[in-house]
Structure 1
């Protein structure tokens, strides 16, 4: 098969351990050949910017361009797959084939596939409006019975932060952590409705498809729809950190999302701050080398939102 990007090889070894990652890399070529035969695909070289999954473009026997995505380590695969089935192509790339046990799926390939991140910062107002529009298309009432993680459960990750640092905060600003923990509780408790959300809807996960913009890579999360706006306040990373008037940009995003989604500004600001802190902590969890140096750029966005008057 095709050579894997060196950065991807090292990333998987760092996250899952050298022995486990290398064993998967050895099994991967034969597995991909099985997928090609099973679904009548011609696989092309994988994308360069891979992280937790092997993702490659492919062509079906009838010439339809598609995407194949797989990783046997993924603990989010089942939730993402279930979300794709429920979203059913509305506001998101369509699921075409899947095998939950083997953790592999074939998806509609969005073309030209331009990332929404390409509009920032020059066309940030337009990009924010596109984000809001995709949110409105995606959201739907949560199933009565489900196994999706809830927003409240995700917020409990910040209690793990305190435990990690023996009840302290380590390199994290105490005021921001305390405020984020409080926001997860109060905003979840006051949620006007409980919805099925994408869970990571930001500028790198929305692509152009013809004249439309559609989401990719849902995590599948259930809770307050306001939670969905949070990831947009520290993205697109790292480009957002180069904006000279970042405070002004984030304030405008709060106001614009409030108007377009019909949510209170305080709720949007709060979810932005809470998710900035949580994401910075997740970076530490994923990569222990960051344990004494959490992503300062994301925390900078949290600090701006903390000071923002709404």
Structure 2
């Protein structure tokens, strides 16, 4: 029995689950849908967090965000195996591309709610300034992998040559934050799921810091690349926040997206960066 199977079996026994089947969990988790034996509890989701030690932070964030009504409901956690038991969201489809007005509205609504949550003192969340270097290192690792795997030695160059400037901007913005909040930390399309009457956020990568960071992160990820700066400003305006600051964070994360070099629209993303508009925000 491999490690994932062992952890899943422990969850099935602890929470009386049956019929477990895999869902798309990305690279940071193994995720399964399961039924509660006897049918009395409906269907739930088991998330095996990777690495397992990060389950506590995610659980603490979901608990803090629970009062906002903007995140998936955490039912229970088993930190001995790094597992979270979550409510199943239906239909659970991610926020689609192609409608920037809807995306802006949904993002602003959820982030406004999330950022109202009090930062709990019961868990030692890392700060954005503390976590940023790891994100920068990951961008470099991803760049090397994509170049090697695709045999494209110049792929992601537009982001790579601006990565140092993005880092300096990020540290400046972190130092100038006057109202740190509990950030979602991975607020992108795939982590914004449709419910029967709206949307909920899932899979936080929590840290504390500048609320404009979450705006910029979403704006940089959501296509098309040609609308990143406009999108960041529009979300900030809906939230009553600083549009210039949101655009600066969007520029930081656009550099990371380009450097990571995995996107389907890589050419458009790199062209947008090389167009010069982002450089003025770095």
Shared fold, TM over 0.5: yes
Show the counterpart of 2:73: 94
1:216 correspondence with 2:216: no
Show the counterpart of 1:11: none
2:190 to 194, 204, 212: 204
1:143 to 120, 135, 138: 120
Partners of 1:276 and 1:299 within 8 A in 2: no
Show the counterpart of 1:39: 15
Superposed displacement of residue 133, structure 1 = 0.6
Return 5+ residue gaps in structure 2 as ranges. 142-155
TM-aligned CA distance change 1:47 to 1:137, over 3 Å:
same
1:232 to 202, 209, 218: 218
Show the counterpart of 1:3: none
What is the count of residue pairs matched by the alignment?
260
Superposed displacement of residue 298, structure 1 = 5.8
Partners of 2:189 and 2:218 within 8 A in 1: yes
TM-aligned CA distance change 1:173 to 1:92, over 3 Å:
closer
Cα distance in 1 for residues equivalent to 2:58 and 2:82: 11
RMSD: 3.2
Superposed displacement of residue 160, structure 1 = 5.3
Partners of 1:77 and 1:100 within 8 A in 2: yes
Superposed displacement of residue 266, structure 1 = 1.4
Show the counterpart of 2:133: 156
Please show how residues 30-179 of structure 1 align to structure 2 within 5 Å. 30-48=6-24, 50-60=26-36, 61-71=39-49, 73-88=51-66, 90-116=69-95, 118=96, 120-121=97-98, 123-139=99-115, 140-144=117-121, 146-157=123-134, 176-179=162-165
1:250 to 225, 228, 245: 228
Superposed displacement of residue 303, structure 1 = 4.8
TM-aligned CA distance change 1:44 to 1:297, over 3 Å:
farther
Partners of 1:276 and 1:301 within 8 A in 2: no
Return 5+ residue gaps in structure 1 as ranges. 1-24, 165-169, 285-289
Partners of 1:234 and 1:301 within 8 A in 2: no
Q: TM-score, normalised by structure 1?
A: 0.72
Cα distance in 2 for residues equivalent to 1:161 and 1:111: 32
Q: TM-score, normalised by structure 2?
A: 0.79
Partners of 1:226 and 1:267 within 8 A in 2: yes
Show the counterpart of 2:251: 273
Cα distance in 2 for residues equivalent to 1:49 and 1:158: 20
TM-aligned CA distance change 1:28 to 1:208, over 3 Å:
same
Greater shift after overlay, 260-269 or 102-111? 260-269
Superposed displacement of residue 299, structure 1 = 5.2
Superposed displacement of residue 163, structure 1 = 11
